[in-house]
A and B are shown apart, each in its own frame.
Chain A
Amino acid sequence: MLTRRVLNPGLRDGRIEEGMESEQQRSAASVRAVEIGVAVVIFLFGALVVLDSYRLGAKWGGDGPQAGYFPFYVGLLICASGATILVRALRNPAFAAQSFVTRDELKKILTVLVPTVVYVSVIAYLGFYVASTIYIAYFMWHLGKYPWIKIAPVSIGVSVAFFLIFEIWFSVPLPKGPLEAALGLN
């Protein structure tokens, strides 16, 4: 939090001036909404922990605490703190006016997050190196607007470099896919 404040003093401190909002600076989510949402999720997580600990037994067994003893109280504390945060969030009037993330920022984040989720999902099918090549190439094409003649050597080169470093030098195998099987590199 300190980092944010230092780098952007006064950027998002509760007072959005009328008439100065551009479409992109409009909030995608208020602090209030996100605080409440996260607090609720935390509370539910704590409840899960408590339930499972109860199932395991949270009392003093014959010769020591049962398996669920420690997690039970941990879960209770999670619920208690979640509830406290929730109440605070509900009672704080300033949160509603503060923006958690503006549309502009959200767009920037999704620009990286969505391809990353896709990348991680396909590694199992395409193998690490092919997936990484496509991932890097995508970024260079979409964000950097580079021509293919520059994208290809960089993205392929980086993957080949990783292959040499991890497979050969460190002997750490990474998941491989159909291309490597075809090339006999399994």
Chain B
Amino acid sequence: MEEINALMQGFAVALSPLNLLLMFVGVVLGIIIGVLPGLGGANGVAILLPLTFSMAQQPGGTTSAIILLSCIYWGALFGGAITSILFNIPGEPWSVATTFDGHPLAQKGRAGSALTAAFTSSFIGALIAVIMITFLSPVVAGFALQFGPPEFFAVYLLTFCAFVGMSGGNAAKTVASMMIGFALAAVGLDSVTGTLRLTFGFTSLLKGFDFLIAVIGLFGIGEILETLEEGLAFKGASAKINMKVVLETWKELPRYWATSLRSAAVGCFMGIVPGGATPASFMSYGLARRLSKDGNDFGSGVVEGVVAPETAAHAAGTSALLPMITLGVPGSPTAAVLLGGLLIWGLQPGPLLFVEKPDFVWGLIASMYLGNIAGLIVVLTCVPLFAAILRIPFSIIAPVIIVICAIGAYTVHNSMFDVYLMVVFGVIGYAFKKLGYPLAPMVLALVLGDRAEENFRNAIKGSQGDMLVFFSNGLVGGLTTLALLLLFWPLIRAGWRLVLGRGWRP
């Protein structure tokens, strides 16, 4: 079992004193970020990314840096559950389903139970996903070593078509959002031809748009603006967790083992598909409600109603890292930011990473196990502390969050222009969210746009302009066909209905 050997080596890397310290710091930071609106997972990682630049220069530093950032990610996942349960404010889109039963539980005075259930389920979901990653990623990576430019482009095509196909009636807005991301990615100096694209004479656009600025603006400022509509205060239930409540809830949880396993499976599967964590949490909530004997009580405050979405969401959020490390295709905006970080540090995510930098990859995977354990410990012991953060009066915390965002935006390229851009992106993010334009495709397109175009160009050059290169062999042909199927799926389904005589209903 060479994966276990590799994993053990990874643990050796991850268990250094510095890395352990970074793990705890990362988790604590992540929870704080997850608890505060406007700072969520993707944004928080984006803000802290530039601070890791100096860390990444040192030997072994990239491993430490990714451990820090991924632990911030876990922390943010946990933190999102805190606000969902106590304040009925979902910290992340996939925490929405947690509010359905989590907040009623808190209102009934059982916040401690709800939180314990949520954290433990998240831990289990993430753990199962990490085990899957441990065994599956070398397989996928080995497979992907045979990929050439056409195959890589086909994978990106599949990713983006999946977004459009599963957008549920919002296809035009998804396409618009995605294509805007591609256009923004194209702005600036074209490395291949050396020409300036889409800059219209503005020197400040020479470097193009950095995805970090877009993320901080869209997800940070945009989210704050959206939260403002609720009113300028956060009111929530109080939370007391003590060992007694924890143990009692733990005794209750094994009853839901079937729900847990099923939700973890749903999460693992859907997390690999981009944008999977949110539908995974909703789907597993719906499944649990239908299949459980307490199904009718869902919504009034049932522990099982918290177990299902949390397990699925965390399993999905974790398994989204599988395509990121093996193929270089991120499954979520936060994974996209982590990917961007890898690129900035000079690493090439994808199958070669396993071959060239096994220490890094297995150190990261090992830290996923440890980070989750650290996260569970921190979160179970410190919840009242984190909940208290949200009691800081809005008039103080809102400007502080915005100042942090501004600092984050500035430190990317030491450029004030980026800070102005951040505000513009913030307004765009607010408007887009309200109108139903999905933001994830835009961010993914912004991160992947250059690489997608590069692979497209290389593929076409290699085939001397023949578009059929994307069907040239079984692998790439299969991927491209799957992509096109997903893209036109709603139309196919509507056509099928028509054929079956059930009427036209796209």
Contact = CB atoms under 8 A, between A and B. Distances in A.
A36 to B, nearest CB: 11
Contacts of B465: 60
Main secondary structure on B side of the interface with A: helix
A126 to B, nearest CB: 12
B433 interface: yes
A183 interface: no
Contacts of B89: 7
Contacts of A140: 395-396, 399
Contacts of B192: 64, 67
Interface in A86-116: 88, 100-101, 105, 108-109, 111-113, 116
Nearest to A144: B395
Main secondary structure on A side of the interface with B: helix
A175 to B, nearest CB: 6
A124 interface: yes
B237 interface: no
A19 to B, nearest CB: 24
Contacts of A69: 457
Interface string B112-123: 000000000000
B400 A120 contact: no
A69 B402 CA distance: 39
B114 to A, nearest CB: 17
A48 B396 CA distance: 42
A56 B176 contact: no
B406 A4 contact: no
B297 interface: no
B183 A49 contact: yes
B416 A175 contact: yes
B386 interface: no
A70 B179 CA distance: 11
Interface residues of A, number: 73
A52 interface: yes
Contacts of B395: 139-140, 142-144, 146
A176 to B, nearest CB: 12
B193 A45 contact: no
Interface string B224-253: 111011111000000000000000000000
B388 interface: no
Contact of B419 (A81, A123, A162): A123
Given A56-B195, A136-B400, A109 B183 contact: no
B96 A172 contact: no
A67 B190 contact: yes
B397 to A, nearest CB: 9
A67 to B, nearest CB: 4
Contacts of B88: 7
Contacts of B400: 136, 158
B327 interface: no
A128 to B, nearest CB: 7
Contact of A78 (B183, B410, B411, B423): B183
B435 A35 contact: yes
A117 interface: yes
Interface of B: 50-51, 54, 88-90, 93, 96, 99, 172-173, 175-176, 179-180, 182-183, 186, 190, 192-193, 195, 197-198, 200, 221, 224-226, 228-232, 278, 393-396, 398-400, 402-403, 406-407, 410-411, 414, 416, 419-420, 422-423, 427, 430-431, 433-436, 453, 456-457, 460-461, 465
29 contacts: A1-B433, A42-B176, A52-B198, A56-B195, A64-B461, A70-B182, A71-B198, A77-B179, A78-B176, A78-B179, A84-B172, A101-B434, A108-B228, A108-B231, A108-B232, A109-B228, A109-B229, A111-B228, A112-B398, A113-B225, A120-B406, A120-B419, A120-B420, A124-B416, A136-B399, A136-B400, A170-B51, A174-B411, A175-B410
Given A1-B436, A3-B90, A142-B395, 13 more contacts: A45-B183, A46-B183, A71-B186, A78-B179, A108-B231, A111-B232, A116-B402, A136-B403, A143-B394, A144-B393, A144-B395, A170-B54, A172-B51
